[in-house]
């Protein structure tokens, strides 16, 4: 029934949100607008989920491996997930929190991630939603973070926006509660 509903909405040129519910969790898997003339009934199901399933799963695997490297304190594993000219940006006001800003290229990322890992341990991560659109991925997570110097832990939500190039992370923009981070390290 969801396929038929998505096909009908897409054929009417309305936005289509494909939602999977499994194991008690809900995950948005796609948002698309198809033209009125698209022969939706003949499209494979993966096309209704946002395109090439192989590329989608490859990007999600890179992200999951990067998250595992971050959790395990593996700086090199995290850096290798990035394109050689890859950029990581922690959004926020640099005058309020010095950790915010952009870092580019493997040497800079290695130093920055090394410091982040030394200061902040990710105790757990629950992925709340993954959304893939072409070479871009959005991941909404709930994490439990330990501030290592003080030993305090806190739970927060993070939104990561990825852009891929050549199978690697070309850009990661992370939205985190920087006020909560600042309070934790003060």
- Name the CA radius of gyration of the chain, rounded: 19
Mean predicted lDDT score pLDDT of the chain: 80
Do residues 79 and 110 lie in contact, with contact meaning Cβ atoms separated by under 8 Å? yes
pTM over 0.95: no
What is the 8-class DSSP label of residue 97? -
More confident residue, 41 or 142: 142
Q: What are phi and psi of 160, to 5 degrees?
A: -110, 130
**Over the stretch 79-122, which tens digit does the pLDDT of each residue have?**
999 999 999 999 988 877 788 899 999 999 999 999 999 999 99
pLDDT in tens, 35-60: 444 444 444 444 444 445 679 999 99
Q: Is 30 exposed, middle or buried (0-12, 13-18, 19+ CB in 10 A)?
A: buried
For 54-185, CATH number out of 1.20.1070.10, 3.10.50.40, 1.10.3210.10, 3.10.450.50 equals: 3.10.450.50
Name the H helices within the chain: 2-11, 53-72, 75-80, 106-119, 178-185
Of 1 and 141, the one with more pLDDT: 141
Task: Give ranges for CATH 3.10.450.50 in the chain.
Answer: 54-185
Do residues 158 and 72 lie in contact, with contact meaning Cβ atoms separated by under 8 Å? no
């Amino acid at each position: 029934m969801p396929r038929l509903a998505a096909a009908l909405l897409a054929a009417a040129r309305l936005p289509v949100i494909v939602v999977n519910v499994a194991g008690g969790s809900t995950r948005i898997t796609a948002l698309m607008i198809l033209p009125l003339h698209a022969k939706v009934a003949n499209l494979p199901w993966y096309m209704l989920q946002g395109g090439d399933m192989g590329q989608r799963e490859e990007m999600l695997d890179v992200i999951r491996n990067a998250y595992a490297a971050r959790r395990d304190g593996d700086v090199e594993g995290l850096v290798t997930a990035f394109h050689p000219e890859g950029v990581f940006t922690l959004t926020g006001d640099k005058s309020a929190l010095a950790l915010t800003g952009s870092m580019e290229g493997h040497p800079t990322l290695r130093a920055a991630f090394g410091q982040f890992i030394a200061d902040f341990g990710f105790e757990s991560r629950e992925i709340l939603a993954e959304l893939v659109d072409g070479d871009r991925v959005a991941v909404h997570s709930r994490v439990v973070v330990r501030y290592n110097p003080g030993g305090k832990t806190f739970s927060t939500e993070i939104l990561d926006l990825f852009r891929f190039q050549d199978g690697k992370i070309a850009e990661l923009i992370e939205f985190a509660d920087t006020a909560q981070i600042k309070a934790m390290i003060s």
